[in-house]
Chains A and B, each alone.
Chain A
Amino acid sequence: MHEAMPQTILIVEDHPLVAKFYRMALERAGGYTCIVTENAEEILAEVEQGRVALVLLDVALRGTQWERRPIDGVELARLLKQRAPGRLPILLATAHAMAGDRERLLAASGADAYLQKPIYDVQELLETVQRLIRG
């Protein structure tokens, strides 16, 4: 039964064109359903309902607020890991690409994997997402 239902990926990305690219890539090449939002309440609601198979999360979120202060992807990842009812893989996708960023961001966020922008290889993105969802 699960096989028949398309799995849902939550895209948290504040740049509309980048979000558009993720959505097209994941929906067309992977057959996933995508939700795009950078609203923290909406993100948490989706995750807490247990409908999300994976979160594709940007680090620098310019407009996202939580409890009336700005929250970035690192903090949000920790929050989502706490609130998710089951296993929730999180893929960090970020343009932070200076030396040491990968280790620092993975350790600080508790995310499962890290992709560095520019992300343009649809196949690589898809394989990473599939691998994380399989667990």
Chain B
Amino acid sequence: MESFIEEVKRYLGFTTQDMALLRQLGPRLEKHFPEMAERFYAQIPLHPNAFRVFTGGDIQMVRLKQTLQEWARGLFRGVYEEEYAAERYQIGYRHVRVGLEQKYVISAMGIVRAFLNERLLLEMPSGEESLPYSGALNKILDLDLNLMCESYMHATIQNLKKLNEQLEQANRELASASRTKDEFLSHISHELRTPLNSILGFAKMILDGMCESPAEEHELLQDVFSSAQHLLALVNDILDIRRIEEGRMTLRIENVDLRQVLDSTLPLVAMQAAEKGLRLINETAHVPLPIVWADEIRLRQVLLNLLSNAVKFTKEGSVTVRVQTPPEAPEGSGISSTRRIRLEIEDTGIGIPPEKRDAAFEAFVQFHQIDARRFRGAGLGLAISRRLIELMGGRIGLESATNGQGTLAWLLVPLAETVSSRRSLAAGPL
């Protein structure tokens, strides 16, 4: 503390007599502080280095003026030697960073001193003279400019560093996104060419008269047809994900008989399952199924997708479909009144590790992550399904199968009656 005051005194040339004078005049001068601060800083734009300072901005300037006045106030109340000096760190820290505060404090005191000179000459009885301080102002001004520049540069460098880091991060993300999209495009191109090979190849054979019988021609036409259907499914998936990503997917949500949806979807995978020797177990067969609030076509698409995945990723064993209706939440319990039915599709297939389950729902991301290259298809089914079911107010997820091996895909679909009763409630009593 003492050494600091000594340092200040040396720097400014204060004497004990000066200090006594200041204390005596302080209360009278205090009302002039705002003006002093304004006048001092009004000179800054005239300084040759001013352009550097003013890039620091208005806020910095306001803080400088405040700090200056606080210093002057402390000085004249005679407290600077004690508490006020102890606060110098905080005062300086207001607008300059660590390491600069002391220099700033000295500068602020100098400014007070220089302006006091003018005021002292005005206020003091004639004959009493104080030392001339005319040279002090420029020196102080320089110091302040330096401080402000340092402070500004420091802040700027920090900002630039931060900006640079953000840019680098953005760059990395862009590169990764671009790589993922490239991989996706390459994968899709590959997937589209495979059914095209059968469509064009067999059509050409028929046209070239390479078939040995009408029966064989018919068989090849069947192959053409099924390949074209596969191609259509791929194209639809690509269009769907594009529509979803652009926020253009609109659903027609209405009361839908879940029984009808299930009964019309299961046969679509039954043949595939039978060809692979898989058992397709429908545990819902003898359970009453509710009316749900959904887009029928899209719900069927989601179900078909989950069922196809289950069949696709299962080599042997079974694929099981079951439902669970959660108990109704007690009234006034605060629990959301939306009741949903839970559909489960469980397989005995290769399963998907917990850490890769989220990625499975991301469009474009999954290729390298879950090695979908080893399986056919656009690899968009789960991403599309999730968005569709969420648009219906439902949810979708993957878990480990109950036997520990394989995958359990679940689907929560809002029940029709909950939604309609909530709607009439929202409309309010008449």
- Chain A minimum-CB-distance residue to B208: A122
- Which residues on A sit within 8 Å (CB–CB) of B208? 122
- Which residues on B sit within 8 Å (CB–CB) of A25? 201, 205, 210
User: Shortest CB–CB separation between residue A65 and chain B, in angstroms?
Assistant: 11
Taking a contact as CB atoms under 8 Å apart, the answer to whether B197 and A119 are in contact is yes
Please classify how large the interface on chain A is, using the bins under 10, 10 to 19, 20 to 34, 35 or more: 20 to 34
B186 in the interface, Cβ–Cβ < 8 Å?
Answer: yes
Q: How many B residues touch A, CB cutoff 8 Å?
A: 26
Q: How distant is the Cα of A29 from the Cα of B201 in the complex, in angstroms?
A: 13
As a 0/1 sequence over residues 23 to 62 of chain B, the CB contacts with chain A under 8 angstroms (1 = contact) are 0000000000000000000000000000000000000000
A70 in the interface, Cβ–Cβ < 8 Å?
Answer: yes
A62 in the interface, Cβ–Cβ < 8 Å?
Answer: yes
Taking a contact as CB atoms under 8 Å apart, the answer to whether B197 and A120 are in contact is yes
User: Shortest CB–CB separation between residue B81 and chain A, in angstroms?
Assistant: 78
B269 in the interface, Cβ–Cβ < 8 Å?
Answer: no
Q: Quick one: which of A20, A29, A63 has the most chain B CB within 10 A?
A: A20
Taking a contact as CB atoms under 8 Å apart, the answer to whether B189 and A18 are in contact is no
- Which residues on A sit within 8 Å (CB–CB) of B248? none
Q: How distant is the Cα of A28 from the Cα of B220 in the complex, in angstroms?
A: 15
- Which residues on B sit within 8 Å (CB–CB) of A15? 194, 197-198
Find residues 367-404 in chain B having any chain A CB closer than 8 Å to their own CB. Answer: 373-376
- Which residues on A sit within 8 Å (CB–CB) of B203? 120
- Which residues on A sit within 8 Å (CB–CB) of B204? 120-122
Q: How distant is the Cα of A62 from the Cα of B227 in the complex, in angstroms?
A: 18
Q: How distant is the Cα of A19 from the Cα of B186 in the complex, in angstroms?
A: 22
User: Shortest CB–CB separation between residue A58 and chain B, in angstroms?
Assistant: 10
User: Shortest CB–CB separation between residue A39 and chain B, in angstroms?
Assistant: 16
Taking a contact as CB atoms under 8 Å apart, the answer to whether B185 and A24 are in contact is no
As a 0/1 sequence over residues 187 to 215 of chain B, the CB contacts with chain A under 8 angstroms (1 = contact) are 00111011011111111110010100000
Q: How distant is the Cα of A121 from the Cα of B204 in the complex, in angstroms?
A: 7
Q: How distant is the Cα of A96 from the Cα of B199 in the complex, in angstroms?
A: 18
Find residues 97-123 in chain A having any chain B CB closer than 8 Å to their own CB. Answer: 97-98, 116-122
Q: How distant is the Cα of A63 from the Cα of B313 in the complex, in angstroms?
A: 12
Q: How distant is the Cα of A118 from the Cα of B190 in the complex, in angstroms?
A: 10
Contact of A62 among B182, B201, B376 (CB under 8 A): B376
Taking a contact as CB atoms under 8 Å apart, the answer to whether A70 and B194 are in contact is no
Given contacts A29-B210, A120-B200, contact A17 B185 (CB under 8 A): no
Taking a contact as CB atoms under 8 Å apart, the answer to whether B189 and A98 are in contact is yes
- Chain B minimum-CB-distance residue to A125: B201
- Chain A minimum-CB-distance residue to B219: A20
A132 in the interface, Cβ–Cβ < 8 Å?
Answer: no
As a 0/1 sequence over residues 22 to 34 of chain A, the CB contacts with chain B under 8 angstroms (1 = contact) are 0011001100000
- Chain A minimum-CB-distance residue to B189: A97
Taking a contact as CB atoms under 8 Å apart, the answer to whether A97 and B196 are in contact is no
Taking a contact as CB atoms under 8 Å apart, the answer to whether B210 and A122 are in contact is yes
- Which residues on A sit within 8 Å (CB–CB) of B210? 24-25, 28-29, 122
Contact of A70 among B182, B197, B227, B374 (CB under 8 A): B374
Contact of B198 among A21, A94, A98, A122 (CB under 8 A): A21
- Which residues on A sit within 8 Å (CB–CB) of B237? none
Contact of A118 among B186, B200, B376 (CB under 8 A): B200
Contact of A95 among B193, B227, B374 (CB under 8 A): B193
A44 in the interface, Cβ–Cβ < 8 Å?
Answer: no
- Chain B minimum-CB-distance residue to A63: B374
Taking a contact as CB atoms under 8 Å apart, the answer to whether B197 and A18 are in contact is yes
Q: How distant is the Cα of A72 from the Cα of B312 in the complex, in angstroms?
A: 20
Taking a contact as CB atoms under 8 Å apart, the answer to whether B197 and A95 are in contact is yes
Taking a contact as CB atoms under 8 Å apart, the answer to whether A62 and B190 are in contact is no
Q: How distant is the Cα of A119 from the Cα of B201 in the complex, in angstroms?
A: 7
A60 in the interface, Cβ–Cβ < 8 Å?
Answer: yes
Taking a contact as CB atoms under 8 Å apart, the answer to whether A21 and B201 are in contact is yes
Taking a contact as CB atoms under 8 Å apart, the answer to whether A97 and B376 are in contact is no
- Which residues on A sit within 8 Å (CB–CB) of B205? 21, 24-25, 122
B150 in the interface, Cβ–Cβ < 8 Å?
Answer: no
Taking a contact as CB atoms under 8 Å apart, the answer to whether A117 and B193 are in contact is yes
Q: How distant is the Cα of A63 from the Cα of B371 in the complex, in angstroms?
A: 12
Q: How distant is the Cα of A117 from the Cα of B227 in the complex, in angstroms?
A: 14
B316 in the interface, Cβ–Cβ < 8 Å?
Answer: no
Find residues 215-263 in chain B having any chain A CB closer than 8 Å to their own CB. Answer: 223, 227
Given contacts A70-B374, A118-B200, A119-B201, contact A20 B186 (CB under 8 A): no
- The 8 tightest CB contacts between A and B, nearest first, are A120-B200, A95-B193, A21-B201, A118-B197, A120-B201, A17-B198, A118-B196, A95-B190
Could you show 12 A-B contacts with beta carbons less than 8 Å apart? Answer: A17-B202, A17-B227, A21-B198, A21-B201, A24-B205, A25-B201, A28-B210, A97-B189, A97-B193, A98-B185, A116-B193, A118-B199
Other than the known A17-B197, A98-B185, A117-B196, what 10 A-B pairs have Cβ atoms closer than 8 Å? A15-B197, A15-B198, A17-B198, A21-B198, A60-B373, A95-B190, A97-B189, A98-B182, A98-B186, A117-B193
